[in-house]
Amino acid sequence: MRRAVVTGGTGGLGRAVVRRLLESGARVAVPFRDERAYRELRAATGEPDALWGAVADAADPAAAERFFAAAAERLGGLDSLAALAGGYVGSGPLEDAPASELPDMLRINLLTLHACCRGALPHLLPRGGSVVTVSSRLAETAGPGAAAYAASKAAVVSLTRSLAAENRSRGVRFNCVVPTTIDTPANRKAMPAADTSKWTTPDAIARVIEFLLSPEAGAVTGAVIPVGER
């Protein structure tokens, strides 16, 4: 039985990943900040006994450390981390963006990942395991109006590759999925005029993440995997 933490588990992609992991027989822990969103997740999964969550600021290293220790105790160990927590801000051209935009994007997308990997590794190393991170196609192709976001997501790729190299011989794998825009209600609301035909469904990404977390992907580490149309 897999024992997994899913950060960002109450979001559009996170819900799909949590659902697939629970359906595969895994036990799952989710840090959250919104009690209502977590209750909705529990109600939607149909597997409330296999799902546990607690309030935690995943970007805070001390809070992340406490959460992962509690999750490992609650689940009976830990072998998987789907590090999905993140966010997007795009305020237009660089000269018009607030000075806080880059620090905000780095905190949400990079520092959260760093804190969670740091919190998870002491529990993953004794038994081996897998970590999957999520970047964005904008990290590769860039685009106007989102320099801070693209930079933070490019840093996610770099951190993933570095941790894959660092932990290859220690039995913990790190891989990164790179989707196109994810087809979630929040993204449709934010971009009502967008062409959604090339967006990627949460379930399509969740299937890739589930595979990368599984023992069947045991030979895969340090990979950066595009998901969806280019």
CA distance 70 to 15: 21
Which amino acid, residue 199? W
Give the distance between the most distant pair of CA atoms in the chain. 51
> Which residues touch 39 (CB under 8 Å, ≥6 apart)?
none
Q: Is the dihedral of CA 146, 202, 54, 117 positive or negative?
A: negative
Which residue ranges make up each domain of the chain?
A: 3-227
Considering only CA atoms, which of 15, 171, 5, 174 is closest in space to residue 75?
5
Candidates 2.40.50.140, 3.30.1370.60, 3.40.50.720, 3.10.450.30; correct CATH number of 3-227? 3.40.50.720
Which amino acid, residue 19? R
| Chain segment 176-220, per-residue pLDDT in tens | 999 988 888 778 877 787 888 878 899 999 999 999 999 999 999
Q: Give the per-residue pLDDT at 88.
A: 82
Burial (CB count <10 Å: 0-12, 13-18, 19+), residue 98: exposed
Q: Please list the active-site residues.
A: 149
Alpha helices, DSSP H only, in 76-174?
A: 101-105, 112-124, 138-141, 147-167
Helix (H, G, I), strand (E, B), or coil: what is residue 224? strand
- Which pTM does this prediction carry? 0.93
Q: Give the per-residue pLDDT at 96.
A: 77
| Chain segment 79-137, per-residue pLDDT in tens | 999 999 998 876 677 777 788 889 999 999 999 999 999 999 999 999 899 999 999 98
> Which residues touch 129 (CB under 8 Å, ≥6 apart)?
78, 79, 80, 81, 171, 172, 173
